Structure 1
Amino acid sequence: MLQGIMETFQEYFLKLLVPRTLITMVAMAILVAVLAVIGRKKVFGTRILTYGALAITAAFILSYIRVFRMPYGGTVTLASMLPIFIFAYIAGTRAGLMAGICYGLLQYIQDPFFVHPIQFLLDYPLAFALLGLAGIFKENYFLGALVGSAGRFICHFLSGAVFFGEYANGQNVFLYSFIYNGSFLLPDMIICMAVLLIPNMRTAIKRVCRQAHTA
């Protein structure tokens, strides 16, 4: 009887190691974490909501200015992530996550690609929500942009490895996903950081931050 229980447990454990099952668990964990953060009771003022709407609109417009487009999804844009980063610096991580979710849903409307519910979660609402992690480092804009970009990369990487492995052509699917997603997200992040290097840009962000938190 004990042996039978152990065999059942082993079979169940091995099922959990199947990539799609693991990625599903990770995606749900990320979703729970995001919902836990944005679910905290806090009322945003009209000014913050206005800044959020402007950031989402600016990001969406910039996403149409494409420097390079990848064959199976993903583009290098003219700093389309930057407005979400800036909003997260101004309003904080929670607001940044919420703006990112809205932006991610707009991205799906812009270029819909659906193969599985978990793929949808990872590539759209969760990937772009994690841009809001930049708000954790509102005193260090470059580190914030790096962390926000890394959060988005992780979601796309997991999605690519499991749901788009057929395009790997014999290459290790995780290596393929790492290279593919890095090939457009790294330049996108570098463009954002290049804009942040402009002194007037950093000064403007600081000024808006002060204005947003004054009556």
Structure 2
Amino acid sequence: MFKFMVNTEGGLTTAGYAVSIIAGIILFLLAIYFAGKNSDRKKMTTRQLVFCAVAIALAFVTSYLKLFKLPWGGSVTLCSMLFIVLIANWYGVGTGIMAGLAYGILQFIQEPYVLSFFQVCCDYILAFAALGVAGFFAKQSHGLLKGYIVAVIARGAFHALGGYLYWMSYMPENFPKSLTAVYPIVYNYSYLLAEGIITVIIISIPAVAKALTQVKRAALQ
């Protein structure tokens, strides 16, 4: 299925990049559509378009700002997941999932690696779409914080699933044999939780929390 999209090294061909970009655009437009459907006006507004576009763009840009990177994929970035979670917090689960899907395509374009169709789904599609579950907590007290924590855990679950199915052969020889069964969990949550802790600390700062509340009010106008 991926032969025309993937080269012998597991990267994307020109056709692969073209298909991925088109898919990303379609998913982004779907995210905008859901944002409009979830608004009180039941109609997509220019403001919602701008806020979703800016948030996805910031997520993509900050994904390049890596504090450190693991050898077989995964890195601690400068709060890149937060911006997709913000979309879910503003406009709900449906919009958050679609934004996450679009962002997953961007990640696939940024650092593609293909072992199988299901591996791509786990590592790029489902994992980033899972960030949209943050929308379930949008109307709760401290909803952004709760939603972010659950979203990070949900994303990690899909990466770990892909790890069990496709990445066990990449386990380092010096990894404790007694912990072999939990290697994908340890590997993936090591960088996700590190970034999560940093982000939680940042958004818990009163001034930052106040600013994010004001941004949400502006996004919902």
Name the aligned partner's letter for residue 50 of structure 1. V
Per-residue deviation, 1:133: 1.0
1:198 corresponds to which residue? 205
Does the alignment pair 1:124 with 2:124?
yes
CA distance in 1, matches of 2:220, 2:170: 48
Distance 1:195 1:73, change over 3 A: same
Consecutive unaligned residues in structure 2, runs of 5 or more: 1-30, 38-42
CA distance in 2, matches of 1:144, 1:53: 21
Counterparts of 1:81-120 in structure 2, within 5 Å, are 81-120=81-120
Q: 3-state DSSP class of the match of 1:54?
A: helix
Per-residue deviation, 1:75: 0.4
Consecutive unaligned residues in structure 1, runs of 5 or more: 1-37
TM-score scaled by structure 1? 0.76
Per-residue deviation, 1:174: 4.0
TM-score scaled by structure 2? 0.74
Q: 3-state DSSP class of the match of 1:164?
A: helix
CA distance in 1, matches of 2:117, 2:100: 18
CA distance in 2, matches of 1:197, 1:63: 21
Whose Rg is larger?
1
> CA RMSD of the aligned region, Å?
2.0
Correspondence for 1:164 among 160, 163, 167: 167
CA distance in 2, matches of 1:132, 1:198: 23
Task: Calculate percent identity across the aligned residue pairs.
Answer: 38
CA distance in 2, matches of 1:149, 1:65: 18
CA distance in 2, matches of 1:163, 1:106: 22
Residues 53-104 of structure 1 deviation map (CA, whole Å, 9 limit, x = unaligned): 1111001111111111001000011111111111211111111111111111
**How many matched pairs?**
177
Q: 3-state DSSP class of the match of 1:113?
A: coil
1:149 corresponds to which residue? 152
